Structure formats: structure tokens, C-alpha cells
Structure 1
Amino acid sequence: MDELDPVIHASARLRITAALATLPAGDRLAFPRLQQLLEMTPGNLSTHLRKLEDAGYVEVTKAHQGRSPVTYLNLTSPGRAAFETYTASLKRLLGGIA
């Protein structure tokens, strides 16, 4: 049986990874927009992003727009590959095609 990646498997991290995977490779999303899309509190989102970042799945870039700080998020190549492996494993586990 395929083992599901425990970093991605947590519900909140799966939602984050799935949302970022919808972006074309190299694109990024601002933290407030992701927070709005997923309806998560800033603290909860930050906690789960840290785990994904520590695993090398998400890149967090801090910048400034004018005088305001902004945080951008994107799925790394290893993160995209891990998500694709996760979804393929889940399909096999559920008896679907991979």
C-alpha cells in the first residue's frame, strides 16, 4: 500500500498545497489572498505554512509594495512533485487510476 506524505496529509496543509498547485509553476500568491481563499486565521495559516516551508514544499518570500510589507507564497518544484505523488497515491489507495 502507498504511504501518504504526512506533511501534506494534514487537512489544512492539503488545502494549502492544493490551492498553490493550481497556480502555474513559478507563480506566487500573496498571503492575504491565500488566507481569504482558505478562510483560515493568519496564525493557523502561518503555522501550517512553516511546516510546508521546513519540508521544502513551499517558498515564502517577503517583499515590500511601496512601504507595506507583503508575503508571497509559491509551491516549489519538490512541493509540486510531492503533491502529484500524494494525489497519485491517494487515487491508488481509493482504487482509482494513477
Structure 2
Amino acid sequence: MGAAPAEPQLVADFKTWLRKHRGASDATVRLYARDAAGLMMELRSDPAGWRPNDVRSYFLQRASNSGSGTIEKMTTSLRAFLRYLAVAGRCQAGLDGA
């Protein structure tokens, strides 16, 4: 078995931000980081170039195979990640509403 892929630096920074500024629990940090890493792996580009349609397409593809509870959690975690990226100047503002 190969090693797991390295965590993107932006996801590591997001985890630190969640703990420091949001007081998130370890379970929340793990869940949010998993969803953030999935988005980054799928879009495979600098978040500065992400567009609402890119994020929406990713979400709809993932949501099509998920239950309502999972969809709600994913919505919350991805919105938090996109807000973090916008505040950090790493993506355009407003993607969290995509």
C-alpha cells in the first residue's frame, strides 16, 4: 500500500484557522479538512482561478450520491473553507454562495 497523498498546505492552514479562530473540535476539524481536501483534489488548480460553476459542479456531483445529513455537513464545511480562502485572499469572494 502506498502512502496517503500529502495534505495540501491550504488545508493544513485551514485546520489551524478552525482551531484558533473558530474553536472547532477535533472531529469538526477532521470533517472540514476532508471535504476541503476533496474539493482541492477535484479542482486541481489554484483557488484564485475557481469559479462558482466549478464549485457548484463539484458539490452537485458529490451530493448526488449522498444522504441529506451528509449534504448538510458538506455544505457547511465547504462554505467554511471557501470563506477562509476568501478572507485569506486566496479565492474570489462569494464562492461560498455557489
TM category (shorter chain) comes to 0.3 to 0.5
Which one has the largest radius of gyration?
A: 1
Task: State the TM-score, normalized to the length of structure 2.
Answer: 0.34
Q: Select the structure that is richer in strand.
A: 1
